[in-house]
Amino acid sequence: MKTLNATQTEQIIYEMLTENTGRHMLDSGGDSGRSWQRNQAKSLEDFKNEARVHFDAKYYDATLSTFHHLTEKLTYSPEWTEEFNDYAGKREDDGWLELMESFPQSMGWNRLFTENSYNRESLLSQVIQYTVYYTGEETLVALQIHGGADVRGGYTRPRIFSMDEEYSLIMEDASIYCTGEAVDSTGPHRFDGNGSEWTYMGEYSREYNPYAMSERADLLKLDYLPCAICGAPMKDGAQQ
C-alpha cells in the first residue's frame, strides 16, 4: 500500500505507543512495568530500527513488532481523526470503545466489526483494539493500543486510519528462519506464520509449527530447536 504520509503515520503510532494511559490501583504494572512506561525510554528511530520479528528459540515463541505491523498496514487520517474527536467531545460520558462503535452510525457508514487481539491467537508485541468501518469509498479503522499491564484497561485515545481491506490488521505476517547449519541442509529455510498457523513455501503442516519442532527436540533429546526441513537449529533472536 502506498503511504504518501508514511512519516506522519510512523509519528502517530509512536505517540500512541508512548502515550501515558495512566496507572490504576488494580493494574499490576508497579512503578514502571506498563508498556507505555517502557516505551517512553525509546525514540521513534529505536522503533523503526527494531527487529520486525523476534524469535525465542528456547520457548519457541515468535513476536511481531506492533510498530512495524501497524505502520505497514495503516495510513493515518488527520481529517477523520479530527471528525472523531469532535464527535467524542459532544459525548463526554461515553467510553472510548462505545464512541468507536457509535461513530460510524453518526456518519452514515457501515460498522463492520470490533476486534481485540487479546481475544485470539496473536503474534503482536502489544495488544491492539479497533473498530473497522466502511464509508462506501474506503475502509477506515479506529485504533487503540494497549499501554497498560492489565488488558482490561490502559488503552490509548483512538486515532483514525485508512487501510487496504477490512482484515488487514488480522493478517499478521511473520517469518522465522533456521540457521542452515546442518550436513544436508539447503537452508536457511523460512517458515511463515500468521498468528494461527505456520507454512513453508506456501504449504501448511503441523510440523512447521515451532511447538511441533519443540516436541521433536524433546523426543530426540536435543538442546536446540530443530528445523522441520533439515534439522538445523532455528535462528534465535532478531529475524530480519
Domain chopping of the chain, boundaries: 6-51+63-163, 174-238
Strands (E), the chain: 53-56, 61-64, 74-76, 110-116, 128-134, 139-145, 159-163, 174-177, 190-193, 198-200, 203-204, 237-238
109 grid coordinates: 457508514
Q: Print pLDDT tens along the chain (240 aa).
A: 444 445 899 999 999 999 998 765 445 545 556 888 998 999 999 999 999 999 999 999 999 999 999 999 999 999 999 999 999 999 999 999 999 999 999 999 999 999 999 999 999 999 999 999 999 999 999 999 999 878 888 999 999 999 999 999 999 999 999 998 877 777 799 999 998 899 999 999 999 999 999 999 999 999 999 999 999 999 999 996
C-alpha to C-alpha distance for 96 and 98, rounded to whole angstroms: 5
Question: What local confidence, expressed as pLDDT, does residue 22 receive?
Answer: 76
Q: What is the pTM of this model?
A: 0.89
C-alpha to C-alpha distance for 223 and 68, rounded to whole angstroms: 32
Nearest alpha-carbon partner for 100 in 134, 138, 130: 130
